[in-house]
Structure 1
Amino acid sequence: MEVGVTLSNELEVQIAEAFCIFDTHGDKYIDTRNVGNVLRFLGCAPTEKEVLEVIKATESTDYPGEAHISKFMAHVSVLLMDHKMEPASAVKIMEAFEVLDPENKKYLTKEYFGKLMAEEGEPFTEEELEEMWPVAIDPITGNIPFIFYLNQLKHKTKIYEVADAVKEELAQAEKEKGKKPPPTAP
């Protein structure tokens, strides 16, 4: 893949591929409004605060409102290797569903789940809910069965496994040079 920057490992390749999907002009820049989309495409689950932090760290000084691939890749690689913005595990999601289902029905209604998603924690917008429903709702019952929903989410990229492998490779390379491993983000 030609992205105009040197790609030195699989993590950088995956970040570049995701970035280029949102690089509508092919100029190695994306609108900072797409930073969250790139992160979610990679399989991250950033909060709005985390998206804003990535924008702040990667926004071009020459072109405000734009992020260049090299700055984005360098910053996001470190975040991924440190497991920042990592989505909850299937076990954690299942535990959360079980708390929300005291009657042990093994599903939530669209109305109840939608109310929770729109009003609790970091609320979803109506647009985000509309994007989520086709993945969450069982087309036969119209409800959100836990196992069905978790299986729909399983296809997500294993970006954190790639990040771990790259982090290990970098640490090994530094060890062979007799230096300390690369610093991690605070």
Structure 2
Amino acid sequence: MADKHNAETIITETQKRISSAFEVFDHESNKTVDVREIGTIIRSLGCFPSEADLHDIIAELEEEEPTGFVRYEKFLPTMTKILLERKFRPITEDLLLQAFEVLDQQKKGHLEPEELTRYLTQEGEPFTQEEMDEMLSAAVDPDKNVILYKDFVSMMTFDDTR
């Protein structure tokens, strides 16, 4: 019986988090949000899907005839399932640091902004110029004009204590 109560509590708390996040973007207070805000809402809940996964989620949430809005009653069960299944969890700090160390072939402890831009715009799921500009504004050490990736990794990892 305690397990069932515990599961219900977890579901209730999860749905409260989802409701709170959704309400921030429900500007008209009509239980809908702009479809363009879905990624931001999902990320605010500690999930980090790829762009392809995000498009799949949005396709699942949209109406038969897309309106540009997502209704809360469609968002809640989908997001509850995603959170309870712990999908799209953030990458760990250690793994992210290892990735930067692979890119830093000379083991300098830093990367040049041009190096990182080349890697992130030409490989895998490429960053847009706007995303690169935003990242570099946070990542580049203003005094040394390099990315001290150990500092940057600790700044950008998600504290998943929930």
TM bin, normalised by shorter chain, reads 0.7 to 0.9
Equivalent-residue separation in structure 2 for 1:23 and 1:14 (angstroms):
14
Percent identical among aligned pairs is 31
Q: TM-score of the superposition, structure 1-length normalised?
A: 0.73
The aligned runs of 1:109-120 (5 Å cut-off) are 109-120=112-123
In structure 2, what residue type is equivalent to 1:116?
Y
Distance 1:116 1:15, change over 3 A: same
In structure 2, what residue type is equivalent to 1:120?
E
The aligned runs of 1:1-186 (5 Å cut-off) are 9-61=12-64, 64-154=67-157, 156=158, 158=160, 162=162
Q: What is the count of residue pairs matched by the alignment?
A: 152
Larger helix proportion of the pair = 2
Distance 1:140 1:11, change over 3 A: farther
Q: CA deviation at 1:73?
A: 1.9
Distance 1:130 1:64, change over 3 A: same
Q: CA deviation at 1:63?
A: 6.2
8 Å CA contact 2:39, 2:54 repeated in 1:
yes
Q: TM-score of the superposition, structure 2-length normalised?
A: 0.83
Distance 1:130 1:79, change over 3 A: same
Distance 1:157 1:19, change over 3 A: farther
Aligned to 1:114, the other structure's residue is in SS state helix
Aligned to 1:106, the other structure's residue is in SS state coil
Q: CA deviation at 1:112?
A: 0.7
Aligned to 1:95, the other structure's residue is in SS state helix
Aligned to 1:143, the other structure's residue is in SS state coil
8 Å CA contact 1:42, 1:157 repeated in 2:
no
Equivalent-residue separation in structure 2 for 1:138 and 1:9 (angstroms):
43
Gaps of 5+ in 2: 1-10
Equivalent-residue separation in structure 2 for 1:134 and 1:151 (angstroms):
16
Equivalent-residue separation in structure 1 for 2:56 and 2:119 (angstroms):
26
Distance 1:49 1:133, change over 3 A: same
Equivalent-residue separation in structure 1 for 2:31 and 2:116 (angstroms):
39
In structure 2, what residue type is equivalent to 1:45?
F
